[in-house]
Amino acid sequence: MKTTLKLRSGAVIPCIDPKTAQKKNYLSRAELGKLHLMPAGEPVAFTENEDGSVKYYFDSEHLTEAPPELWYAASGLKTEKYVLGNGTEIPRMNTRRAASQGYYTKERLAVMNYETVEEPVAYSRRGDEIVFFYDKRTASRLPLMCTKCGKAVRYKRKLCEKCYGEDLIVRRALGDEHRSAFYHKTRERVLFFDLELTGFYDRDEIISISVVNGCGEVVMDTLVKPTHTKKWKKTEKIHGITPDMVQDSPTLAELVPDIKQMFDNAESIIAYGISTDFSHIKTIYETEEEQNALHDKISCCANEFVRYIHEHCPEVVHASLTDAMECLQIAWDGIPHSSIADTIACKKVWERLFPNYYED
């Protein structure tokens, strides 16, 4: 006989007898139904029935009123009750009404990958057959099986540990081939860049831009004066750039000719986490054709690092630039979260991942 039961939330509840439940002012689901009440929280205790099913008890301090449609049967519907073997009465309701309350048949719950633990909470009739409904909220979630072999519990990537290991060998070989390939890029025409912004959205403005080429030369490193944003308290705490620091800096419009010349002459343009940076830098181009041409040159270092850790370091769960530097044991040049330090760090991570990227 069970002495405790672990709920899906992880909470462990004790097994008690009905007399103890009454002393503690706990109510069973059947008792709640008679009072037109519903539980507002998880069960606080249970009793195991002779057939192995469970009767839950709920704290009377955490209840809510049941919706009126559950008080009485709909017009024309027999107000029958079914008495379970332990004496508990459960109401009759149709399938649609049961589903609206989160009650399903045992077969339906099995399809959803749930196993019933509690006794039935309602029933219906299909001809002479009685169909029982169970509360999904108190059913136990079954472990998902491997999508490849279907014989063992999932470990990672919807695969069991054995299938995952086999899949990892294949993915790692393909990834290593991709990273060790020769790309024959010219160092001077490979650009790494990073932006610092006034915020986290497309409406925010660039306040710093740094560009370094594959030779390690700083091609551009400047603060940028925004044209409509006056303060940026949240991001100021990250990159340390204050409104006073950019007052005498050029605007983005003044820098556009130089930026376009750099990017137009580049073979590859690389950034760490490209989506945000690209959404801001593409605005310097007027036509969709020009924006697409820029996008075709851009590669995301973060995506490549994520692929690398999935293949070689599955235990690494975060993939920020700081995580990449730590994982690959690379030292920082400058202060992290400044655009120039992040640009140099991006270059180092990329060159560690792709040792044969340049022509030489």
Question: Tokens at residue 262, please?
Answer: 């750099």
pLDDT of residue 241: 95
Tokens of 177: 């081939």
CA dihedral 146, 150, 152, 155 (to 10 degrees): 0
HSE (side-chain half, CA atoms, 13 Å) at 65: 4
pLDDT at 128: 83
pLDDT of residue 38: 85
Please tell me the predicted confidence (pLDDT) of residue 76.
43
CA 149 – CA 99 distance, rounded (Å): 33
| Residues lower than pLDDT 70 in the chain | 68-79
Q: Identify the pLDDT of residue 69.
A: 59
Residues listed for the chain: 360
Residue 225 DSSP SS3:
coil
pLDDT of 74: 46
Q: Which residues contact 162 (CB under 8 A, 6 or more apart)?
A: 149, 152
User: In the prediction, which pLDDT does 71 show?
Assistant: 57
Any alpha helices (H) in 79-220, and if so which ranges? Answer: 95-100, 106-111, 161-180
Write down the pLDDT at residue 245: 95
pTM above 0.75, yes or no: no
Task: Give me the pLDDT at residue 146, please.
Answer: 95
Q: Of 11, 74, 98, which Cα lies nearest the Cα of 46?
A: 11
